[in-house]
Amino acid sequence: MRRRAALLALIATAVAGCGYGLRGTLPSHLKTIAIPTFANRTSEPGVENFLTRAVVDAFSTNGRLRVVGPDAADSILEGEVTGYDVQSIAFDATANVRQYRLIVTLNLRYRDVKEEKLLFDRRGYQDRADFRVTGSVSSTSNASERVDYAAFLTAAERRALPPTVLVHGPDAQLMDDALGIVSRVLFTEPSAAAFDREIFDGRDVTAETVTNAALTLPVLAPARLVVVRHAQALPARDADTLRRWVTAPNPAACLMLLADEALTPNRERKTPHWLLDVVPAAAVVALVARRGRPLEEWLRQRAQAEGLVVSEEGARLLVQHVGEDSATLLGEVRKAALAGGPENRAVGVKEVSAVVGEHRLSGLFDLTRAVERHELGLALRTLDRLLATEDPLPLLVALTRDVRMRWTVREWRERGRPAAEIARLVGRPPAVVDALLTSVAGESNRGLTRKLEQCWLAERRVKSGGEPGAELAVLVAELCRGGDQ
pLDDT single digits (tens) 306-323: 889 999 888 988 887 777
Helix axes 392-414, 419-426, angle to 10 degrees: 140
CB-based contacts of 147, cutoff 8 Å, min separation 6? 87, 88, 97, 155, 282, 283, 284, 285
pLDDT at 144 (0 to 100): 45
The 10s digit of each residue's pLDDT in 355-398 is 776 545 567 778 888 888 888 888 888 888 788 767 788 788 88
- Write the pLDDT tens digit of every residue in 38-69: 888 877 666 776 677 777 766 766 667 888 88
| Higher pLDDT among residues 274 and 378, named by residue | 274
On whether both 275 and 297 belong to a single domain, the answer is no
Query: What pLDDT is stored for residue 361 in this prediction?
Result: 59
Question: In terms of domains, do 404 and 426 share one?
Answer: yes
Q: So what's the pLDDT on residue 147?
A: 64
pLDDT at 235: 93
pLDDT, the chain, mean: 80
Which residue among 105, 130, 155 closes a domain? 130
What pLDDT is stored for residue 21 in this prediction?
Answer: 41
Domain with 240 in it: what CATH number?
Answer: 3.40.50.300
In a domain, 156, yes or no: yes
232 and 210, same domain (yes or no):
yes
Higher-confidence residue of 126 and 207: namely 207
Beta bridge partners of 86: 102, 145
251 and 302 together in one domain: no
In a domain, 204, yes or no: yes
pLDDT at residue 155, as a whole number: 77
What would the pLDDT profile of 334-346 be if each residue is shown by its tens digit?
A: 888 888 888 889 9
Q: At 46, which CATH number?
A: 3.40.50.10610
pLDDT in the model for residue 259? 95
Domain of residue 443, CATH code: 1.20.272.10
Q: Is the C-alpha dihedral spanning 422, 428, 429, 434 positive or negative?
A: negative
227 shares its domain with 320: no
- Residue 23: per-residue pLDDT: 42
Residues 251 and 310 in one domain: no
Number of domains in the chain: 4
Q: Residue 1 pLDDT more than 50? A: no
- Of the chain, the percentage scoring pLDDT greater than 90 comes to 14
In the predicted structure, residue 484 carries a pLDDT above the cut 70: no
Task: Say yes or no to pLDDT of 299 above 50.
Answer: yes
Q: Is the pLDDT of residue 119 over 90?
A: no
Same domain, 347 and 401: no
Has residue 368 been placed in a domain? Answer: no
Query: Domain range spanning residue 344?
Result: 292-356
Q: Are 202 and 243 in contact (CB under 8 A)?
A: no
| Positive or negative torsion for Cα 145, 148, 149, 152 | negative
Choose the most confident range, by mean pLDDT, from 89-93, 117-121, 226-230, 366-370: 226-230
> Do both 341 and 385 map to the same domain?
no
Please list, in sequence order, all residues whose beta carbon lies within 8 angstroms of the beta carbon of residue 175, skipping any fewer than 6 positions away.
167, 169, 258, 260, 287
H/E element, 351: helix 349-356
Provide mean pLDDT across the span 87-93. 60
Whether 485 maps to a domain, the answer reads no
Average pLDDT over residues 117-123: 85
Residue with the bigger pLDDT between 12 and 77: it is: 77
> Are both 312 and 432 inside the same structural domain?
no
Q: Does residue 217 surpass a pLDDT of 50? A: yes
pLDDT score at 207: 94
Across 206-220, 279-293, 419-433, the highest mean pLDDT is recorded for 206-220
Please give the Cα distance from 288 to 279 (Å, whole number): 19
- For the entire predicted model, the pTM comes to 0.51
- What span, in angstroms and rounded, lies between the C-alpha atoms of 448 and 427? 20
CATH number at residue 349: 1.10.8.60
- Domain boundary (260, 286, 312) is at 286
| Average pLDDT score over residue span 88-103 | 61
User: Do residues 126 and 151 share a domain?
Assistant: no
pLDDT at 221: 86
Closest CA to 196 of 171, 174, 226: 226
Is position 135 within any domain? Answer: no
Within a domain: residue 367? no
Residue 20: band (very low, low, confident or very high) from pLDDT cuts 50, 70, 90? very low
- Radius of gyration of the CA atoms of the chain, in A: 25
406 and 281 in one domain? no
Give the H/E segment covering residue 91: strand 75-91
Asked if residues 44 and 85 have their Cβ atoms less than 8 Å apart, the reply is: no
More confident residue, 11 or 332: 332
Q: Which regions of 238-338 does DSSP assign to beta strands (E)? A: 253-259, 284-286, 309-310
Which tens digits make up the pLDDT trace of 247-267? 888 888 899 999 998 898 876
Q: Are residues 341 and 443 in the same domain?
A: no
484 lies in some domain: no
Find all residues with CB under 8 Å of 119, minimum gap 6, and list them.
Answer: 19, 20, 21, 75, 110, 111, 112
Residue 286 has pLDDT above 70, yes or no: yes
- In this prediction, residue 19 has a pLDDT band, given cuts at 50, 70 and 90, of very low
Q: Are the C-beta atoms of residues 64 and 72 closer than 8 Å to each other?
A: no
C-alpha closest to that of 57 among 26, 103, 11, 125: 11
**Which among 137, 39, 52 is positioned nearest to 83, based on CA atoms?**
39
Residue 12: its H or E element: helix 2-18
Higher pLDDT, 379 or 293: 379
**Residue at which a domain ends, from 89, 104, 130:** 130
- Whether 413 is covered by a domain: the verdict is yes
| Residue 450: predicted pLDDT | 86
